[in-house]
Amino acid sequence: MRAKKFFLHRPASLDEAIALKAQHGDAATFHAGGTELLVALKAHVLQYQHVIDLKQITRLKGVRVKDDGTISIGALTSHDTLANDPIIRESLPGYAQLSEHVANIRVRIAGTLGGVLCFAEPHADAPTMLCALDAWVVLLGPNGEREVPSRDFHLGEFVTAREDDEILLAIEVAPQSRGTRSAYRSFGHTERPAVGVGAVWSTDNPQRLSLWAGAIAASPVRLARAEDAAAGLPADLPADEIWRHLAPAIAADAEAIDAHDDLHGGADYKRHLVSVLAERAIKACLP
């Protein structure tokens, strides 16, 4: 099936892109990597008369470290670039590893981080890990820039906090301490995860675990009982003892998730996967 005809605009600047959206309103949409949007247009799930291609805007590409140490990822940075970027591999190795396994090589090369976040398809890897990393997104609209924490950005299936006339500029992560490690583990029968779990373990004082499950619900889910249980553990416990203490809390977190049967598996199966993948992710973070 072919997409219905549309006008393709290629602005050279953010101001031009914002102006085009204001001019064409609901008849226009922004275009990043296109791995999600073009499929939806061809299936006639979405229809637009104007598509505003952002790929000519260089400010939206690449990874840099800001003066305060914050890692800033341009929204049009591809998954393949993130998997191989030296800054990401050194500072966020867990996220680099995630990027190496997104979907397939075509999607990794063409697909962008900003695109997958804005499309908000629930069975995606990136949102879960970004929530665990306490990342935030930077948005630009007619009224200027604003920041939204990643955990508040995902509102549900195909729904985000981004306004229709806003462009996602960057995804940012605070500097990671020497005592912080991160990991992501997922499993699925297709190129999309049935369940993914992102973990960030910090041995700094106080000890802290950030643990999120994704793809199992409409948006990433925080495993709060496990996080609370980790906060009370002695810092010198061996990995097996840490898991023994956390396992009941993670099982309770998983049981409370409002999962549904779908082509990725039954609800009980996916809840079981949360516990299995959480164990793997946490142990990968431990010394």
Mean pLDDT for the chain? 95
Q: Are 128 and 211 in contact (CB under 8 A)?
A: no
Residue type, 12: A
The model's pLDDT over 174-185, given as tens digits with 9 standing for 90+, comes to 999 988 999 999
pLDDT grade, residue 21 (50/70/90)?
A: very high
Which CATH class name applies to 7-53?
Answer: alpha beta
Q: Are 112 and 126 in contact (CB under 8 A)?
A: no
What three-state secondary structure class fits 140?
Answer: strand
Structure confidence at residue 79 (pLDDT): 96
Token duo for residue 215: 């793809």
Judged against a pLDDT cut of 90, whether residue 237 lies above it is answered with no
Query: CATH fold of 58-173, please?
Result: 3.30.465
Judged against a pLDDT cut of 90, whether residue 3 lies above it is answered with no
The model's pLDDT over 46-65, given as tens digits with 9 standing for 90+, comes to 999 999 999 999 999 999 99
Q: Distance between alpha carbon 18 and the CA centroid of its chain, in Å?
A: 24
In this prediction the pTM is: 0.95
pLDDT grade, residue 232 (50/70/90)?
A: confident
Judged against a pLDDT cut of 90, whether residue 269 lies above it is answered with yes
Query: CATH fold of 180-285, please?
Result: Enolase-like; domain 1 (3.30.390)
The model's pLDDT over 84-127, given as tens digits with 9 standing for 90+, comes to 999 999 999 999 999 999 989 999 999 999 999 999 999 999 99
Average pLDDT over residues 119-136: 96
CA distances from 207 to 12, 166, 215, 228, 241 (A): 46, 37, 27, 11, 15
Q: Return the residue matching tokens 């990995």.
A: 239
Judged against a pLDDT cut of 90, whether residue 221 lies above it is answered with yes
Q: Compute how many other C-beta atoms are within 10 angstroms of the C-beta atom of residue 206.
A: 9
Structure confidence at residue 287 (pLDDT): 79
Token duo for residue 17: 């892109």
Judged against a pLDDT cut of 90, whether residue 205 lies above it is answered with no
Distance CA 272, CA 152 (A): 26
pLDDT grade, residue 273 (50/70/90)?
A: very high
Judged against a pLDDT cut of 90, whether residue 203 lies above it is answered with no
Q: Are 184 and 88 in contact (CB under 8 A)?
A: no
Structure confidence at residue 128 (pLDDT): 98
Q: Are 60 and 72 in contact (CB under 8 A)?
A: no
Q: What is the DSSP string of 165-214?
A: T-EEEEEEEPPPPTTEEEEEEEE-SSSS-SEEEEEEEE-SSS-EEEEEEE
Q: Are 192 and 124 in contact (CB under 8 A)?
A: yes
Judged against a pLDDT cut of 80, whether residue 236 lies above it is answered with yes
Token duo for residue 80: 């393949």
Judged against a pLDDT cut of 80, whether residue 1 lies above it is answered with no
Query: For the chain, which residues make up each domain, given as ranges?
Result: 7-53, 58-173, 180-285
Closest to 223 in 3D by CA, of 261, 196, 204 = 196
